[in-house]
Amino acid sequence: MKKKLLLFVLALALILSPALSYAGGNNLFGGLIKPHKRNDTVRTLINANNEVGVSYDYLSRYYAERIGDNESGGISGIGLSLSGMGNFFSVPFVYEHIAYTNQSGSFNYTDGADGVNATDDSNILGVSSRVGKGFILNSKTMLIPYLAYNYEKWDRNIGNGYAGGVKYLGYQEIYSYDALGLGLIGEYAVNNALVIKGRVQYSRMLGNTLNAYNVSGYPAMTFNLGNRPVYTVGLGLDYDIAGSPFHITAGVKYLKTYFGKSEANEAGLYEPASMTNGLNYSLGLAYSF
């Protein structure tokens, strides 16, 4: 947790530095192009990357294990984000972004082996950061290649269920992983108010664990899962409200995650390989600085 807090503070410092540099009167464009007025489309692209925002998020998710267990449903929560673009020393168009999401709700769980149907009360927490460099292709288009870090913790609380009239005792599992990746953002200014954003990202897990609790007849257990890829595709809109610093944001993001099979522990138990598909919808309000 301390390591992740340090990463958060460092990312925050990086994000604020270009904004502070610009606020101090430095040329945002690093001398590469002439400064633009606020209503120019290049400025519109820049404004859409200098924001602090909050959003309502809804996640539709499907999880399946190789042995047949699966769960599906939707949960909701909030998202917080902070992004910046500007000079970093002598480098122009440096881009930084950090986001936090927290979603809670219930999924429908099915044990394929035993035929158990139960409810999974879940909480999913995510932290992500991106650092990249913007390239202006023309007055309406920007490309931003970037490096990414992602952390996710999924707290599953599978409640008591029944199979053939026999009670099934629930348990708790906490999945968590860190991942590093590469991505590309494409932005297009439709006009002086509206920006369309598209994003693709490939990440690879660095650490991937499962902690299991309250499993009938067994103490708490930890499984090291095989590190696998994470795929992300997103599409978003950023709309400047009547030329004000307030923006309406909306987006949809598809996330495909694989978890590898663990080694068996001393009791002969293991966690099977699994796959998760998620579709996240968001609607929010941002302040452009």
Instruction: Write phi, then psi, for 271 (nearest 5 degrees).
Output: -105, 125
Q: What is the structure's pLDDT at 199?
A: 98
**Domain limits at 278?**
2-288
Q: Which two tokens stand for residue 226?
A: 């095989």
Euclidean distance between CA atoms 240 and 49, whole angstroms = 12
CB 18 within 8 A of CB 24: no
- Fill in the DSSP letter of residue 263: P
What pLDDT shows up at residue 161? 60
Helix (H, G, I), strand (E, B) or coil at 180: strand
- Please tell me the pTM assigned to this model: 0.83
Number of structural domains in the chain: 1
> What's the confidence (pLDDT) of residue 62?
95
For 47, residues 6+ apart whose C-beta sits below 8 A from its C-beta are: 38, 240, 247, 288
- Tens place of pLDDT for every residue, the chain, 289 residues? 445 544 554 555 554 554 444 433 343 433 333 333 445 888 999 999 999 999 999 999 999 987 778 999 999 999 999 999 988 888 899 999 999 999 999 999 887 666 678 889 999 999 999 999 999 999 999 999 999 999 999 999 988 665 555 566 678 999 999 999 999 999 999 999 999 999 999 999 998 999 999 887 788 999 999 889 999 999 999 999 998 999 999 999 999 999 888 888 888 888 888 999 999 999 999 999 8
- Provide the residue type at 239 as one letter: Y
Task: State the pairing for strand pair 141-158/135-138.
Answer: antiparallel
Nearest one of 280, 281, 262 to 271, comparing CA atoms: 262
Show the tokens assigned to 176. 């968590």
| CATH number of residue 261's parent domain | 2.40.128.100
280's enclosing H/E stretch is: strand 274-288
Cα separation, 28 vs 25, whole angstroms: 8
